[in-house]
Structure 1
Amino acid sequence: MTSKARAILLSLLLCGVAAPVLAQVSSKAPPPVPAILKTAEARDIHSYAQPLVARVTHIDLDLTADFTGHKMTGTAALDIAAAPGAKDVVLDTKGLVIHGVTDAKGKALPWSLGKADPILGAPLTVTLNGNRRIVVSYDSAPDGAALQWLTPAQTAGKQKPYLFSQGEAILNRTWIPTQDSPGIRQTWTARIVAPKGLKAVMSAKMLTPNGEPLPDGSRAYRFSMDKPVASYLIAIAIGDLTFTPLGKRTGVYTEPSVMKKTAYELVDVEKMVAAAESLYGPYAWGRYDLLVLPPSFPFGGMENPRLTFATPTIIAGDRSLVSLVAHELAHSWSGNLVNNATWSDFWLNEGFTDYFENRIMEKLYGKPRADMLADLGWSDLQDAIKDAGGPTGADTRLHLDLTGRDPDDGMTDIAYQKGATFLRTIEKAVGRPRWDAYLKSYFARHAFQSQTTAGFVADLRQNLIKGDPKLEAAIGIDKWVYEVGLPDNAVHIKSAAFPAVDALAAAFAQGGPAPLAKWNAWSTPERTRFVASLPRKLSDERLATLDKAFGLSAQGNSEIRFVWLELAVANRYQPAVPSLETFLTEQGRRKFVAPLFKDLMAQGDWGRPIAKGLYAKTRPLYHAVTRQTVDGVVK
């Protein structure tokens, strides 16, 4: 045995993977290939994996976080389910430095790294030689897109560095050599060594809450996910973290300096879990905790199992933006329990979840508030259709053709809002009790499995439509999922509160007074609606009156600040530029950042210099997900 092989085997033993366990694993018959993976619709064009030949079923990670070199270094031990006669297993990688591959006993295995594709990365092909467990020794690259290494200055506490990951859609291959395809679900464990004074958390059960002390002052944290999940849901964060319980099975991690206001904001999380369970069945993941991250996190939230990652832009001080938490919680059923098998079917995650989110909000906060959120979503859908080229745009379909494209191209409000509207349309056609019973049975029937659009459509017809031609015609399933635009039977939930808001916005635009008394009584959705519905052409006088009355440029609510800045940019309103620059510098949420840079670029000789100068400063602060989108805008 070579010294490197001994080191790898020792690493495995330190991970708790003892020889008897290896023997037990190798004695089991490989699990059967999930039926969905045998269908043509489940072929993943964004992965090199060949799951019908050999697929990953379990991962054991043993990694050290190198904050100096900005890399994760160590091993990934993979259990492989191989078809009879399979010679190789093909893994997804992007930018990884592969040091070697062995079997479970440390014997070297032949491997090769194929030609790299700009989107997909490079295939890692390993010759199995009859083995069902392989060990890959590697480093991630300092610029690996999934990982963002923050300086102390980029954190709330300003004292210690921070690391977090974002794996969706196909970024986890930049730090884990596995089959990075949503249809290939895998269980996993991890041993993570974090520097002295920093705590590691992951999207799994934490086995060592305080870590195991090591001689150099660092600590080893251990985690286990015993339920098969899509690889993009493996997530990690390391930083100066503290924890506050919110309920018997809920809590929040964040930096100590912002914990008090964060815990206040999230006080209803335990109630949300109970509300979700009352709708669609038991929560299957044990605990539901949140990690509120530094501002550069590129999304509102990420539904990592057991540990939702969330942006600090939801911390508004008045609990008005917690619908995002309801959304990420709903993913525990739609997206985690049952997930999309390919990225062409992203709507199966987000459309279901957006619908489910609204039902949680209705149950906890009442129908008027839920209706306002749904109505705002309808407006977002109209904008998304316009951005996709209008009603005939190819990307207005739910089931997308992403051939040759980055899967991020399909992550638009079409998936979210058209998907949710489709489900509301079904609900209207069959009635809420029947629809709820179907959804609950759907999640139970497909628990811990992936799904395709074709699979869902077949299930819908078999278990809900049941051959009823009138119901089939009333819904128009194929038109919704496979055709462009928005079908005529789309259900538009209209808020009873918004007509009065719209009337006041129209009156203000015509020179009327700012409705300060109404503003003070309004909820965040009403305030957002008021600003968003104002004409894109207003005088500086009207804009100044608006800003002075409502303090919009200094607004702490990120949703209201965003719609105000969109209005200001559309009018080339110079006094709002300092607020715009601050907003784009202090947070990196793609939902806010990308549209504002796009709006600036559209303003020609006024906006382009602002956009280019500002992006030169802010780009290093953003996660790769945000940079990738904005790079295509600011040219």
Structure 2
Amino acid sequence: MASFAAALSTSSLDPATYANVEEVQTRHLHLDLKVDFTQKALSGSVRLQLQALRTPVRQITLDTRALLVNRVEVRGKDTPFKLHEPSQAFGSALHIPLADPLTKEGEEVEVVVHYQTTEASPAIQWLDPAQTVGKTHPYLFTQCQAIHARSLVPCQDSPAVKLTYSASITAPSPLRVLMSALGKGSAPAKTNPDGWVTYAFDQPTRMPSYLIAMVVGNLEGREVGPRTTVWSEPEVVAEAEWEFQETEKFLATGEDLLTPYEWGRYDLLVLPSSFPYGGMENPCLTFVTPTLLAGDRTLVDVVAHEIAHSWTGNLVTTQNWEHFWLNEGWTVFVERKIMGRLHGEPERQFSAILGLSALRESIQHFGPTNPLTALVPDLQGMDPDDAFSSIPYEKGFHLLYYLETLLGGPKVFEPYMRAHVQEFQGKSIQTSQWKDFLYKYFAATEGGKERVVLLDQVDWAKWLKAPGMPPVENKFDPTLAEKARALARRWEKEDGESLDFSSRDLDGFNSNQKVLFLDHLSSQEKPLAHAKISLMEELYGLTGVRNCEVRFSWQILGLKASYEPIYGPVEKFLGEQGRMKYVRPLYRALNQCDSSLAKRVFKEHRSSYHPIATRMIEKDLGL
């Protein structure tokens, strides 16, 4: 029997993977799985086609978490394997020795792992019928970012590895299966007489493992454009169809700004309320939260963000999670470019102002000297989820906006954006590679010497490695923000009988202006007086609004003032959805007001949240 490596360490390319990605990388992955709602398990196999990068390769190391590995084949023959004891951060390394090592660069080997998932998998949420909108059928969906693909499938779970994938998924009829890939036909590939159906998928564009995604449920689709179908449970599909009518406009604007859309389809899936994020940019099938269904299309900028990921994140990908801003900071920058082109530059500027508020709040939460507030933090030994915040999104945006302003504005910078995608598409990169190409590109432009001098004046060490707020304070057009801030200042200053407000104060405010108005009041050191909050509710009726962004900001304002009448609406909101953008800050704020209440509410709703959200809320509450 071949010997196994005794040492267990993470990769030098990616501190969050055990896989030996410097030696060998997956080129194609094929899943063959059966969905068992009774056992709450996926069972079957994964076939990996791996290619040697440097030789000799004497073993394959894969990432796993909470998986039962039954059997391993190498080149069609059963092979011994070792599954290490799990670590809390990264799961279990699966070591597979090669009886015949790979001795030539480019040489390939096929490995098949027969396995089964368990209920402990953080990537998979199994919903009972009662947890769905329709209340009739069970439902499952996956969420693999950042390092949860290893709990769905044994793999090299690192964004440094880009692969194509295919799948054959068997599920009970009449449920439909969708994946982050192109379906082979509109009907099941196979219908069995015992009531099972098999769907087949293919993803021909190389992508990282965290973008593998699956949903199984009672799903109906409505076309909203030549490349887009909106999917959801039948009970909400008409509402979703109406909300996302502008999707093709976002796609076309992204193409005009960058390069042709690579992925063929851009479908949208509106998930049940437990989905922990606003959206997830899974290729061919973006997952979105039902909290976007505002009934007035005011929250669809999230879709612009996920569409932007089609280029920045999915085509050009961070090499590891320390450089996450290359995914998210770039995507926020592109998203705001798309919204600016569709709705005017003042909208882009106003969105940046809201983002600055979110950045300040995240840095305040971590602490301004916390290393995790650096744009490129050190995540050695750390689960990337523990570092998740708006910082790579907004601090990354601020760096790109600063560079755009420094180098000559949009007419100069937008061609560079296109060149960035063209240079790095299909690759996984680090910040140093991004910076090197930035210099190379602008050195080759007209006036290149002067622009290189400008780039040399950038304090790169502070921008990239220093904690806290960005070293340069960008200035944004305050036109749309000033009306909201002016109203907030009035509420701050006026007291007692001098209060002079009207139910018409918010007339003409869009939802983002209402959010900024509330966030400005929440950000003040002194909480708003209870009498003012009571009057505000009487005049503006904010407790009953449907828009979740406004609803959240209103509830945070009340909790920061320990305003007890808001506790009931907060508890209701926490029971209706599991989006971490809302539930984590609300639990933290409620915990400051009434720790026992916060823990009771979490205990009551814990089972309805996604495993990723559950773990993070537990940390927030000190459980």
* TM-score (ref. length: structure 1): 0.90
- Contact 1:421-1:492 at 8 Å conserved across structures: no
The corresponding residue for 2:388 is 411
- Contact 2:62-2:93 at 8 Å conserved across structures: yes
The corresponding residue for 1:549 is 539
1:93 counterpart (52, 64, 86):
64
Q: Please give the per-residue CA displacement for 1:526-557, whole angstroms capped at 9, x wherever unaligned.
A: 11111222255223322122123222222211
- Contact 2:129-2:135 at 8 Å conserved across structures: yes
The corresponding residue for 1:580 is 570
3-state secondary structure, aligned to 1:187:
strand
C-alpha distance in 2 between matches for 1:519 and 1:453: 43
The corresponding residue for 2:7 is none
3-state secondary structure, aligned to 1:516:
coil
Change (3 A) 1:388 1:540: closer
Range that drifts further, 590-599 or 507-516: 507-516
C-alpha distance in 1 between matches for 2:576 and 2:81: 44
Establish whether residue 216 from structure 1 lines up as the match of residue 206 from structure 2: no
Change (3 A) 1:180 1:150: same
3-state secondary structure, aligned to 2:130:
helix
- Contact 1:355-1:423 at 8 Å conserved across structures: yes
C-alpha distance in 2 between matches for 1:549 and 1:583: 21
C-alpha distance in 2 between matches for 1:165 and 1:539: 44
The corresponding residue for 1:157 is 134
Q: Please give the per-residue CA displacement for 1:491-533, whole angstroms capped at 9, x wherever unaligned.
A: 2324312222212122234243444324132101111111222
3-state secondary structure, aligned to 1:437:
helix
For residue 66 of structure 1, what is the amino acid of its counterpart?
A: D
Superposition deviation, residue 87 in structure 1: 1.7
For residue 14 of structure 2, what is the amino acid of its counterpart?
A: D
C-alpha distance in 1 between matches for 2:235 and 2:501: 37
Establish whether residue 78 from structure 1 lines up as the match of residue 48 from structure 2: yes
Establish whether residue 312 from structure 1 lines up as the match of residue 295 from structure 2: no
Q: Which runs of 5+ in 2 are unaligned?
A: 1-9, 101-107
3-state secondary structure, aligned to 2:78:
coil
Superposition deviation, residue 217 in structure 1: 1.0
The corresponding residue for 1:54 is 24
For residue 243 of structure 1, what is the amino acid of its counterpart?
A: G
Q: Please give the per-residue CA displacement for 1:220-243, whole angstroms capped at 9, x wherever unaligned.
A: 011101111100000000111011
The corresponding residue for 1:379 is 357
Superposition deviation, residue 41 in structure 1: 10
Structural mapping, 1:78-477, within 5 Å:
78-82=48-52, 83-105=54-76, 107-130=77-100, 132-211=109-188, 212-390=190-368, 392-431=369-408, 432-465=410-443, 468=450, 469-477=452-460
C-alpha distance in 2 between matches for 1:56 and 1:425: 38
Establish whether residue 611 from structure 1 lines up as the match of residue 598 from structure 2: yes
C-alpha distance in 2 between matches for 1:157 and 1:520: 37
Superposition deviation, residue 595 in structure 1: 0.6
Q: Please give the per-residue CA displacement for 1:421-441, whole angstroms capped at 9, x wherever unaligned.
A: 000001001121221111101
Change (3 A) 1:68 1:492: farther
Establish whether residue 520 from structure 1 lines up as the match of residue 507 from structure 2: yes
- Contact 1:346-1:411 at 8 Å conserved across structures: no
- Contact 2:542-2:551 at 8 Å conserved across structures: yes
Change (3 A) 1:108 1:196: same
The corresponding residue for 1:505 is 488
Superposition deviation, residue 413 in structure 1: 1.4
Establish whether residue 486 from structure 1 lines up as the match of residue 469 from structure 2: yes
3-state secondary structure, aligned to 2:237:
helix
3-state secondary structure, aligned to 1:436:
helix
Change (3 A) 1:594 1:518: same
3-state secondary structure, aligned to 1:450:
strand
Superposition deviation, residue 477 in structure 1: 3.1
Q: Please give the per-residue CA displacement for 1:231-266, whole angstroms capped at 9, x wherever unaligned.
A: 000000011101111111112111110011111111
3-state secondary structure, aligned to 1:572:
coil
- Contact 1:528-1:563 at 8 Å conserved across structures: yes
C-alpha distance in 2 between matches for 1:576 and 1:302: 31
* TM-score (ref. length: structure 2): 0.92
What is the total number of aligned residue pairs between the two structures?
A: 591
C-alpha distance in 1 between matches for 2:449 and 2:68: 54
Change (3 A) 1:359 1:188: same
3-state secondary structure, aligned to 2:93:
strand
For residue 187 of structure 1, what is the amino acid of its counterpart?
A: T
C-alpha distance in 2 between matches for 1:266 and 1:518: 30
C-alpha distance in 2 between matches for 1:288 and 1:70: 29
Superposition deviation, residue 308 in structure 1: 0.6
Q: Please give the per-residue CA displacement for 1:398-443, whole angstroms capped at 9, x wherever unaligned.
A: 1110112111133211101010000000100112122111110110
C-alpha distance in 2 between matches for 1:481 and 1:58: 34
3-state secondary structure, aligned to 2:225:
coil
C-alpha distance in 2 between matches for 1:296 and 1:416: 23
3-state secondary structure, aligned to 2:241:
helix
- Contact 2:398-2:470 at 8 Å conserved across structures: no
Q: Please give the per-residue CA displacement for 1:601-623, whole angstroms capped at 9, x wherever unaligned.
A: 223xxx11210110111111111
- Contact 1:185-1:231 at 8 Å conserved across structures: yes
Superposition deviation, residue 92 in structure 1: 0.2
C-alpha distance in 1 between matches for 2:403 and 2:62: 39
C-alpha distance in 2 between matches for 1:112 and 1:538: 59
C-alpha distance in 2 between matches for 1:328 and 1:451: 20
C-alpha distance in 1 between matches for 2:23 and 2:228: 40
Establish whether residue 630 from structure 1 lines up as the match of residue 620 from structure 2: no
C-alpha distance in 2 between matches for 1:578 and 1:180: 42
Superposition deviation, residue 94 in structure 1: 0.6
- Contact 2:11-2:18 at 8 Å conserved across structures: no
C-alpha distance in 1 between matches for 2:183 and 2:596: 48
The corresponding residue for 2:528 is 538
The corresponding residue for 1:13 is none
C-alpha distance in 2 between matches for 1:121 and 1:497: 47
Q: Please give the per-residue CA displacement for 1:257-283, whole angstroms capped at 9, x wherever unaligned.
A: 001111111110000000111111111
C-alpha distance in 2 between matches for 1:264 and 1:99: 47
- Contact 1:375-1:492 at 8 Å conserved across structures: no
- Contact 1:344-1:410 at 8 Å conserved across structures: no
Q: Which runs of 5+ in 1 are unaligned?
A: 1-39
C-alpha distance in 2 between matches for 1:600 and 1:443: 43
C-alpha distance in 2 between matches for 1:244 and 1:215: 29
The corresponding residue for 1:5 is none
